[in-house]
Homo-oligomer: A and B are copies of this chain.
Amino acid sequence: MSSIKCVGVLTSGGDAPGMNAAIRAVVRGSIYNNLRVIGIKKGYQGLINDEMEEMFSKSVSNIIQTGGTILKSARSMEFKTKEGRKKAYENLQKRGIDALVVIGGDGTFTGARIFGEEFNIPIVGIPGTIDNDLYGTDYTIGYDTALNTVVQAVDKIRDTATAHSRLFFIEVMGRDAGFLALRSGIASGAEAILVPEIKTDYSQLDRFLQNEYRKTKSSSIVLVAEGDEIGGAIKIAERVGRDHPEYDVRVTILGHIQRGGSPSAFDRVVASQLGVAAVSALLDGQRNIMVGLSDRKVVHTPFNQALKNKKSLNPQLLELTNILSI
């Protein structure tokens, strides 16, 4: 039997669509299991500043469809210090919170791991980031929505690219990971996709674009992950434009629209599943783990492992681009 009576929940790091659906699931999953539940504002900083309040079933009414996070998010420098974490722990004790659910990405779980090792508090993480770059889950919350946002944006740009027979370089988020670029590139029919995981061979890209140009003289779209080692969309577009003044080259950096918006059906369901699963995991005595979905089943991965391992791109998807852009 679990001795947990009160769960704290927070969102931390970059926000992602579906975080509210996850908060809702944690809150209602807790209440369903007769636990009290406290919402902590602005991530770890709110823990330190004691910004929190009890949540009820009604507190999370009508939020499943909203972007952002009602608990707000922030990055906390103070939580990186031992002192900060001590203050945080004291607030937890004061409030009677005896378990924690943290929703976020890499940075969030790094903090959670250290905190959970230093102090006697069970913590479970829920993967919430549009980057999908977390080991231990097939999908992170927000990834599917961001994919749809990117794809809809590229669809719009395709209209104007085709009208003018232009070559577009479109930059999407992903400092270290190309998941978003790869999948949205396939889904939007991009002619080429540049990701950080694979070294971009400029002369190969150049030959490819020349072929495209000669073949169709119509629009071409290249999706570039912001972290591509070649230096982002602006740099590569400048180089291509210099080498081929005959191309009509344009750049669009999609930017922060990728983080917002009403979550997709997929993200809402994943968030609902993982939110409830996080509470169950705590009740089962789990700690220092992330809940995730693998092959559509809930799985647990220790923070250590989730942080140490790197999820790799699906090689089948990489190959798909070559086949489909002929």
Contacts and interface: CB of A to CB of B under 8 A. Distances in A.
B163 A72 contact: yes
| Chain A interface, >50% SS class | helix
Interface string A295-326: 11010000000000000001011001001101
A282 interface: no
A122 B12 CA distance: 50
A147 to B, nearest CB: 4
Interface string A222-256: 00000000000000000000000000001111111
Given A65-B155, A160-B68, A324-B24, A265 B165 contact: no
A192 B165 CA distance: 36
B58 A216 contact: yes
Contacts of A218: 61
- Of the candidates A15, A161, A255, the one having the most CB atoms from chain B within 10 angstroms of its own CB is A255
A320 B273 contact: yes
B260 A160 contact: yes
Contacts of A35: none
A117 interface: no
A189 B21 CA distance: 9
A296 B276 contact: no
Contact of A155 (B147, B188, B262, B316): B262
Interface residues of A, number: 82
Interface of A: 11, 14-15, 17, 24-25, 28-29, 31-32, 57-58, 61-62, 64-69, 72-74, 138, 144, 147-153, 155-165, 168, 183-184, 186-189, 216, 218, 250-257, 259-262, 264-266, 268-269, 272-273, 276, 295-296, 298, 314, 316-317, 320, 323-324, 326
25 contacts: A14-B160, A15-B160, A24-B189, A25-B323, A29-B324, A62-B162, A64-B189, A65-B188, A66-B159, A67-B159, A72-B165, A73-B164, A144-B266, A149-B156, A151-B268, A152-B262, A153-B257, A156-B256, A156-B261, A157-B260, A187-B269, A252-B255, A252-B257, A264-B264, A276-B320
